[in-house]
Amino acid sequence: SYVLTQPPSVSVAPGKTARITCGGNNIGSKSVHWYQQKPGQAPVLVIYYDSDRPSGIPERFSGSNSGNTATLTISRVEAGDEADYYCQVWDSSSDRGVFGTGTKVTVL
């Protein structure tokens, strides 16, 4: 089955840039979605189809996808961005959903 690997944690100072990677075999050929989850809350879609932003999501959130790595970038990080982030794809060989292992973003 298809596997998505994320770093367990990323730490960043306020105002700096956080980059969260999502590794998968030839992930560049797939559409990647990103979710933000704060403690005790349901996940929220922050990036879809690699780099599109839903309405209401700040422009500070952006995404890219190429080769074996997709990346979620959070610019000018704020305290409110502290959360767990998950990447997600559809495994076209099995028509099944796959989530990444998740990354906890800590704002220093």
Partner 1 sequence: QVQLVQSGAEVKKPGASVKVSCKVSGYTLTELSMHWVRQAPGKGLEWMGGFDPEDGETIYAQKFQGRVTMTEDTSTDTAYMELSSLRSEDTAVYYCATRDYGDFSPFDYWGQGTLVTVSS
Residues near partner 1 (CB under 8 A) are 1, 30-31, 33, 35, 37, 42-45, 48-49, 54, 84, 86, 88-90, 92, 95-102
1 membership: H or E segment, kind and range: none
Nearer to partner 1 among residue 82 and residue 98 (C-beta): 98
Q: How far is the CB of 1 from partner 1 (least distance, A)?
A: 7
Write down the least CB distance from residue 16 to partner 1, Å.
25
| DSSP string of 25-88, one letter each residue | TTGGGS--EEEEE-TTS--EEEEBTTTB--TTS-TTEEEEEETTEEEEEE-S--GGG-EEEEEE
CB of 57 to partner 1, least distance (A): 11
12 versus 34: smaller Cβ distance to partner 1: 34
- Give the nearer residue to partner 1 in terms of CB position, either 1 or 17: 1
Residue 44 or 73 having the CB closest to partner 1: 44
Per-residue exposure over 67-96, b if at least 16 CB sit within 10 Å of its own CB, e if not: eeebbbebeebeeebbbbbbbbbeeeeeee
**Cβ 58 to partner 1, closest distance in Å?**
17
Q: What values do phi and psi take at 102, rounded to 5?
A: 95, 145
